[in-house]
Structure 1
Amino acid sequence: MSKLAELLVICGFAAVVLGGIIAARVLTADRNKRGLSAAMLKMYGLLSVGTLGLVLTVLDIDLEAKTPAYTLLGLIAGYLAGVKIEAEPTGNSGTKL
C-alpha cells in the first residue's frame, strides 16, 4: 500500500469515528443532553491528537522534525487526559451556570 493510500485510510477512519461521535451526541433522544459536553470535547480532542500522531507516523519526515512534533502532541494529550471535568451546570437551580 502506498503512503498516500495509508494516509487516506487513516484520515477517512478518523473522520468517520469523530463524525460518529458528534452525530451520536446530536441525535440523542434527551434534549437536555444534546450538544457537546466537556467529556465529549475531551474525548474528541484525544482522538484528534491520536489521529495526528498516526498521520505523522505515515509521513516521510526527518526524525529531527518528528521528535518535537511527537513531544507537542504528547503534551497536548497529557493535558487533555489530566483535565478534571466538573459537573455539568443545571439551569433551574440557579446555583451554578
Structure 2
Amino acid sequence: MLLVVLSPLAETICCQDIVYRITKNRCPKKYSVLLSALLFGFLHLGSYINGYVPAFLTGAFLMTLYIIAFKRTKKLSILSVYSAHALHNLTSLIFYYLCPNFSP
C-alpha cells in the first residue's frame, strides 16, 4: 500500500507540484524538469536495481507530464502524475514478485 498509494502521492507533491510552483515564473521549464528529476532521483537512491539514472529519467518524464497537464488544467496535473507514478510502482511490484530472479 505504501509503495503504490502513499509514496507516489508524497513524491508527486514534493518532486513535481512544489518544484513547479516555485520555479515556473523564475526559470525556463527545462530547468524545472532538471531540478525535479534530480530531486526524484536523489529520493530513489538505492531503490532502483541499476541506480540513479532510471530514477532520474522517470522523474524527468513525470515532471514533463506534470507541466503538460498543468497547462491544460491545474487541478488535474497532480492526479495525472500521481496516477502514472502509482501505475509504474504497481507494475514494478507485480513484476518483482512474478520474476524474483530477474536481473537486468
Q: Classify the TM-score, shorter chain.
A: 0.3 to 0.5
**Normalising to structure 2: TM-score of the pair?**
0.33
**Normalising to structure 1: TM-score of the pair?**
0.34
Larger radius of gyration: 1
